[in-house]
Amino acid sequence: MDVRAEGLRFDYPGPLRAVDGVDFTAREGELVCVIGPNGAGKSTLLMLLAGMLDPDAGAVRLGDATLADLSPRDRARRVGVVPQALDRLPEVHVREFVLGGRYAHLPAFGRARTRDREAVDAALAACDAADLGERLLTRLSGGQRQRVLIARALAQEAPVLLVDEPTNSLDPEHQLTIFELLAQQTCEGRAVVVVTHDLNLASQFATRLVLVQAGRIAADGPPAEVLRPEVLRGVYGDRLTYGSLPATADGVARPFVLPWRAQ
């Protein structure tokens, strides 16, 4: 299912215009990384796409439906959200937490059925977290916790997945594992949108990069078009070093960008 936004605008009380006339698309099978400096409006954009905030102008469409017209249950059938690592986690076991992602599929006040338990098992397995089911959420490492947050969203079986900074505080191996897992979701026809500061993981895994600056889209294109000094200098300054790595499995060479002072 495609997610499309047109003319999105959002002001926080103040007023502070956090999102200022954004057109955004993520198509089925795409992994779109939203990049940009701190305070650019990335998380606000993600919350608008998720329906967690209502836009002051513009609209979000999920397939042929307008997000604002959908009930919370219908939204949850279409969009799964992986929030930034939660500060306060509930004192529950992993399996119970992931089952919470099935809310939209459970009958009101109903109990989980076999189908729901199977979805939870499949989501945990997809996230390499099958052995964590009986553990307490609060006792997991950062990497395990992140995998469980993604599993909860996958258990929802929604065709659109919105993910906010999934690799913060993870070691390099776990960063790769998380992005591989997200990229895998696109093979199953999902549209995946990931907010990230990691330009190199974005370069490696994204079909498209959307660069946000001061609430607007400053660039939108494949990694090789966006990760160039001409595009990034005005956003991140001139203290980055640019290069390119040989072609990956899809035959496309990928640019990389390092916060490495030239002198």
Residue 41 binds ligand ADP (CB under 6 A): yes
Q: Strands 3-12 and 16-26: what pairing? A: antiparallel
Residue 3 binds ligand ADP (CB under 6 A): no
Total residues interacting with ligand ADP, rule: CB under 6 A: 11
Count CB neighbours of 161 within 10 A.
Answer: 24
Angstrom distance (rounded) from CA 254 to CA 246: 7
For ligand ADP, the closer of residues 126 and 211 by Cβ is 211
For ligand ADP, the closer of residues 116 and 165 by Cβ is 165
Taking CB atoms within 8 Å and a gap of at least 24, the contacts of 55-58 are: 55/8, 55/9, 55/10, 55/19, 56/9, 56/10, 56/11, 57/7, 57/8, 57/9, 57/21, 58/5, 58/6, 58/7, 58/8, 58/9, 58/21, 58/22
Asked whether the beta carbons of 206 and 255 are under 8 A apart, the reply is no
Residue 209 binds ligand ADP (CB under 6 A): no
Q: Which residue type, as a one-letter code, is found at position 254?
A: R
Binding mask 117-156 for ligand ADP (x = CB under 6 A): ----------------------------------------
Residues 20-39 that bind ligand ADP (CB under 6 A): 36, 38-39
Phi, psi of 128 (to 5 degrees): 55, 40
* 192: its two tokens: 């995946």
User: Cβ 164 to ligand ADP, closest distance in Å?
Assistant: 8
Residues 4-23 that bind ligand ADP (CB under 6 A): 12, 16, 18
For ligand ADP, the closer of residues 18 and 153 by Cβ is 18
* 71: its two tokens: 């009930």
Angle between helices 172-187 and 142-155 (to 10 degrees): 10
For ligand ADP, the closer of residues 138 and 169 by Cβ is 169
For ligand ADP, the closer of residues 19 and 227 by Cβ is 19
Residue for token digits 């936004």? 5
Using the rule CB under 6 A, which residue among 8, 24, 44, 150 binds ligand ADP? 44
Residue 167 binds ligand ADP (CB under 6 A): no
Angstrom distance (rounded) from CA 1 to CA 79: 10
Residue 54 binds ligand ADP (CB under 6 A): no
Phi, psi of 173 (to 5 degrees): -60, -45
Residue 196 binds ligand ADP (CB under 6 A): no
For ligand ADP, the closer of residues 41 and 159 by Cβ is 41
For ligand ADP, the closer of residues 17 and 117 by Cβ is 17
According to DSSP, the residues that pair with 255 across neighbouring strands are 244
Residue 42 binds ligand ADP (CB under 6 A): yes
For ligand ADP, the closer of residues 49 and 99 by Cβ is 49
Residue 247 binds ligand ADP (CB under 6 A): no
Residue 67 binds ligand ADP (CB under 6 A): no
- In the complex, the residues that contact ligand ADP under the rule CB under 6 A are 12, 16, 18, 36, 38-44
